[in-house]
Amino acid sequence: MSQITSKSSLGIWGQRLLAAIFLGGQVIVHLIKGKIHRRNTLEQMAVVGPDSVFIALLTALFVGAVFTIQVAREFINFGAGNLVGGVLSLALTRELSPVLTAVIVAGRVGSAFAAEIGTMRVTEQIDALLMLKSDPIDYLVIPRVIACMFMVPILTLFSLLTGMTGGLLIAINLYNLSDSQFIDSARNFLEFWDIISALIKAACFGVLIAVVGCSWGLTTTGGAKGVGQSTTTAVVTSLLLIFVSNFFLSWLMFQGAGSAFMQGF
């Protein structure tokens, strides 16, 4: 019985994932047509950006500090303390900042999208929009996709700076590394493409979060219980897609032998 239930749940999840893919295609078509609800878009930008900035920066601060603690002691033992700032900058820029920021946004904003639109679905507010000849995609989905696509990269940049600050404080106060050595190392390791790649990743993650959250909300059934299930499943699916897409984006962006360490010496 449990196997039948699990297979049924997996089948429903697959159907909703397929619906999310189709919704992503519809979003592209609507964006090409230039159908953008400006007021809703600005409201969603405020929800995704300013309302999420504190938790994103606090997380980045401690991630940068913890990473420095783990790396600095080993590098100093090998006489490579001058590389700590560079290694931290690469880790934050290429992986930690975009991925962790996306995880935070998925948990905070993606769940809110699924819950809000799911509630509208079960209370027939979506049907009311259709009767008023308002396209739910234009009115509900597009503003959220645009908000995430632009605000997640901005949050990622702030997270990067905050994470570097946390690492710098630890390097100076715990390991007696000079601030100039730390900053120079980061400057030598980082390339302009690293920053661009972080922004591209963040924008892709933002679109995934918005599309999944909105799609799961639009396909919600079963009243209040269904809203709760949609919210939980939307977050889990967003996290799964973030990690999977992060692999493929990293594979595409960073093929071949790297030269960052050679530049750091």
Per-residue model confidence as pLDDT tens digits over 19-63? 999 999 999 998 888 778 888 899 999 989 998 999 999 999 999
Per-residue model confidence as pLDDT tens digits over 142-154? 999 999 999 999 9
Q: How confident is the model at residue 1 (pLDDT cuts 50, 70, 90)?
A: very low
* Residue 18 pLDDT > 60: yes
* Residue 162 pLDDT > 70: yes
* Residue 2 pLDDT > 50: no
* Residue 259 pLDDT > 90: no
Look at residue 159 and tell me if it is in a domain: yes
Look at residue 1 and tell me if it is in a domain: no
pLDDT at position 256, please? Answer: 60
The domain tally of the chain equals: 1
Look at residue 168 and tell me if it is in a domain: yes
Per-residue model confidence as pLDDT tens digits over 230-252? 999 999 999 999 999 999 999 99
Per-residue model confidence as pLDDT tens digits over 173-208? 888 888 888 889 899 989 899 999 999 999 999 999
Look at residue 91 and tell me if it is in a domain: yes
Look at residue 17 and tell me if it is in a domain: no
pTM: 0.90
Look at residue 12 and tell me if it is in a domain: no
Look at residue 154 and tell me if it is in a domain: yes
**pLDDT above 70 coverage of the chain, percent:** 93
Contact between 233 and 110 under an 8 Å Cβ cutoff? The reply is no
Q: Report the alpha-carbon distance of residue 208 to residue 222 in Å, rounded.
A: 25
What average pLDDT does the structure give for the chain?
88
Kindly state the average pLDDT of the residues 134-161: 93
- Phi and psi (nearest 5°) for 187? -65, -35
Kindly state the average pLDDT of the residues 88-115: 94
Range of the domain at 215: 23-28+37-253
Look at residue 147 and tell me if it is in a domain: yes
pLDDT at position 201, please? Answer: 96
